[in-house]
């Protein structure tokens, strides 16, 4: 199936996406930063985190950001069974009702992708910031990302405690 690897290039923009939230501390900080700059992003949310932090998820939507499904429990499609992965997708979709999906770790089987693409647009990326890697500094992540950004790029960041030192 077709995956979306780059966004629209007509407006000369980069598309910021955040995976793994909503997080009760880091997602609001990111929302504040985006709001100060008048920017919008897409948040690919883990269903369990949406259930734990519904007010943060509501804030994402109320402030005009986009959101997507990132499975219920952040499973890798390469290690989860077909049934459990698709069930996780469906559970998260029932909560988020987004029509957008990003596979955790970017990993899913072809049959999983075919099944999910019947209901959702699968959004990948062309710039992986590496903000999840504790061995990297914030400036390393920024410099590497800037080298690869192009008009329409979809950049992956994370609204999680693990990525926080490289997001602030």
Which residue is catalytic, options 19, 20, 131, 159?
19
32 is catalytic: no
DSSP 85-127: HHHHHHHHHHHH--SEE--GGG---HHHHHHHHTTSEEE--SE
Q: Is 158 a catalytic residue?
A: yes
Of 53, 65, 70, 158, the catalytic one is 158
Q: Which two tokens stand for residue 35?
A: 């709001």
Output the six-digit token pair for 95: 């909560």
Cα 28 to Cα 164: distance, rounded to the nearest angstrom:
12
Count CA within 13 A, CB hemisphere, residue 5.
4
Known catalytic residues are 19, 158
């Amino acid at each position: 199936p077709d995956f979306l690897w780059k966004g629209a290039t007509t407006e000369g923009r980069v598309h910021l996406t955040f995976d793994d939230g909503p997080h009760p501390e880091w997602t609001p900080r990111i929302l504040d930063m985006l709001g100060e700059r008048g920017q919008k992003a897409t948040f690919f949310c883990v269903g369990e985190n949406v259930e734990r932090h519904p007010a943060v998820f509501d804030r994402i939507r109320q402030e005009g950001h986009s959101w997507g499904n990132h499975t219920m429990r952040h499973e890798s499609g390469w290690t989860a069974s077909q049934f459990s992965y698709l069930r996780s997708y469906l559970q998260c979709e029932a909560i988020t009702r987004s029509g957008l999906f990003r596979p955790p770790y970017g990993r899913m089987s072809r049959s999983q992708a075919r099944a999910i693409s019947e209901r959702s647009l699968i959004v990948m990326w062309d710039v992986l910031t590496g903000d999840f890697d504790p061995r990297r500094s914030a400036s390393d992540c920024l410099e590497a990302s800037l080298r690869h950004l192009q008009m329409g790029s979809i950049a992956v960041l994370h609204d999680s405690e693990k990525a926080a030192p490289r997001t602030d």
